[in-house]
Each structure stands twice: as C-alpha cells, then as structure tokens.
Amino acid sequence: MTFGEKLFQLRKEKGLSQEALAEKLNTTRQAISKWENGQGYPETEKLLMIGNVFEVSMDYLLKDSVEPSDDKNVGYYVSKEMAEGYLLSAHRVSKYLALGFFMIALSFIPYFILSQDPARYIIPTIILATFGIGMFVSASFIDEDQYKVLKTESLLFDEKHLKELTIRYENLKKRYFVINLVGTSLFVAGILAIGIERRFINSGFLMPYYPICIGLIAIGIHIIIRTSSVLDAYKLLAKNDLYNTKFIFKFQRKIRKKLDDL
C-alpha cells in the first residue's frame, strides 16, 4: 500500500472527513486530497501529527507494509503551540499548588499566637486550611487533560524548537538555583529552630518565636514548590529522554498500556 492509500484507509477507519482531518493537522482539505491521491507527501511535522492522530508509527506510514506496527515507542509529536500551552498551564498550576502548601503551613500559626486556646485558634486555622485546600482544587481544574499525554509518552519535537526549549530550560535552571537555595534555607532554618528547641533545649524559650519559624517554613515551601514545578515542566519537554527514566513515568505508562489493552 502506498502512503496515500494508507492515509485514506486510516481516515475512513477513524470516521473522519477530509475537512475534519485537515482541521486536526492545521492544513487544507485540498492538501489531504493530494496526499491521498499520491500527488505528494506531507512535511515531517505533518507526518508526525498524522501518526499521533491515527496512533501509528512513522515506519508504517512511510514503508510498504500492510498492517500498522504495534510498536508505539516511536513517540508523540509535540507542536510548538502545544508545548507553549503546556508550559503556560504549568506556570498557573505551580502558582496554585505553592499557594496551597503556603496556606496549609500558615494554618499552624494561630495555635501559637492565640495562647493555644482552641476556642480562639480553631476558626482562623480552619479558614487558612480551607483556603489551602481550595488552591489544590483550583490547580486540579487548571491541569488540562490535553496535556496529560505528555507525561505518559516519549516525546518528539521539531529540532529547532527542541534546541530553543533546551536553552530556556538551562537558563531557567541557573536562575532558579539561587531562588531555590533561598527557599531551602528558609525552610531548613524554620525546621531546625523548632526541632532543636523541642529536642534539646525544651525550655519553651523559643516558643514565642514559633510563628516566625512557621512563617519561614511556609515561605520556603512556597518557593520550593513554585520553582520545582516549573522546572519539572521544562525538563519534561527539554530533557524528555532523562524524564522518561523516572519511576513515576514508567508507572504511568504501564497503567496507560493496561487501560488501552482493556
């Protein structure tokens, strides 16, 4: 079978019109018609997108094989628009996640400020904790379904775009290193102050300063979560080969494969 015959067959099996397929590939109906009639081949980017749409490999599309290959390890093509949309979404999600952890950490402060009297500290504690949980819920709504495939598949990019993403990732990693160091220092300082006082001194001398320590911990957590989440999103794209070695990636891929088999 020629490429055009395969494209025609795949389109019919998927129940797509030439117009519908053209819309998915961001091209024209006339281009689809020419490809199916053997009057040319799509460019590499369009071939990769076709593979994504019909879940077939590049080998199947280009070689004179009859049956689609079961090997789906070729990768999922990510357009520049999709990559930028994912990074924008990751920035928003990281903001809400960081705020959620920040508010949860702050919810411990009323216990020490209001003389450890339940009648006085329980309401502000609940309010702060509720706001924190609300941030988590907001983050779950922002995390769009269309980007979940990026976390379960090996990714393919246009070479020029991948170089651009890699440069941005390396620059961001250098900038965030200092910011993350500050956040970690604040977090450790707050933890150590409380831990040392309760473990070794145990005199209550630092108890009036516990709210300050918790504030340092909350700020540190906010910085760490915000920077780590954004960097992880960039690493997913720019260093996908390294990201694929993570246990969580392999676990999600196994789950996805089992669901596909069902």
- The torsion region of residue 117 among left (phi > 0), alpha (psi -120 to 50) and beta comes to beta
Provide the residue type at 250 as one letter: K
| 138 and 179 inside one domain | yes
| 40 and 87 inside one domain | no
Q: End of a domain among 29, 62, 95?
A: 62
| 44 and 145 inside one domain | no
pLDDT per position as a tens digit, 163-220:
999 999 999 999 999 999 999 999 999 999 888 877 766 666 777 888 999 999 999 9
C-alpha–C-alpha distance, residues 235 and 213, integer Å:
32
Average pLDDT value for residue range 231-239: 91
Best CA proximity match to 148, nearest among 229, 65, 76:
76
With a threshold of 0.85, does the pTM exceed it?
Answer: no
Q: What pLDDT, on a 0 to 100 scale, did the predictor assign at position 41? A: 80
Q: Is the pLDDT of residue 245 over 80?
A: no
| 145 and 212 inside one domain | yes
How many C-beta neighbours within 10 Å does residue 72 have?
16
- On whether the CB atoms of residues 134 and 84 are closer than 8 A, the answer is no
Match 């199947």 to its residue by tokens.
Answer: 60
- CATH code of the domain covering residue 39: 1.10.260.40
- On whether the CB atoms of residues 151 and 236 are closer than 8 A, the answer is yes
Q: End of a domain among 62, 92, 110?
A: 62
Q: Compute φ and ψ for 91, nearest 5 degrees.
A: -60, -45
Residue 68 within a domain: no
| 121 and 238 inside one domain | yes
Residue 232 within a domain: yes
Match 């504690």 to its residue by tokens.
Answer: 125
pLDDT per position as a tens digit, 15-56:
889 999 999 888 998 998 888 888 888 888 888 888 888 877
Q: End of a domain among 12, 28, 62?
A: 62
Per-residue pLDDT band at 69 (split at 50, 70, 90):
very low
Give the range of the structural domain holding residue 198, as residue numbers without chain letter: 83-261
The percentage of the chain sitting over the pLDDT mark of 90, rounded to a whole number, equals 37
| 32 and 112 inside one domain | no
Average pLDDT value for residue range 74-102: 87
Residue 229 within a domain: yes
Residue 69 within a domain: no
Provide the residue type at 60 as one letter: Y
Residue 73 within a domain: no
| 107 and 236 inside one domain | yes
- On whether the CB atoms of residues 155 and 237 are closer than 8 A, the answer is yes
Pairing type for strands 155-156 and 76-77 reads parallel
Residue 137 within a domain: yes
- On whether the CB atoms of residues 228 and 93 are closer than 8 A, the answer is no
Q: What pLDDT, on a 0 to 100 scale, did the predictor assign at position 155? A: 81
Q: What is the dihedral of CA 84, 85, 87, 93, to 10 degrees?
A: 170
Q: Is the pLDDT of residue 241 over 60?
A: yes
| 127 and 239 inside one domain | yes
Q: How many domains does the chain have?
A: 2
| 106 and 47 inside one domain | no
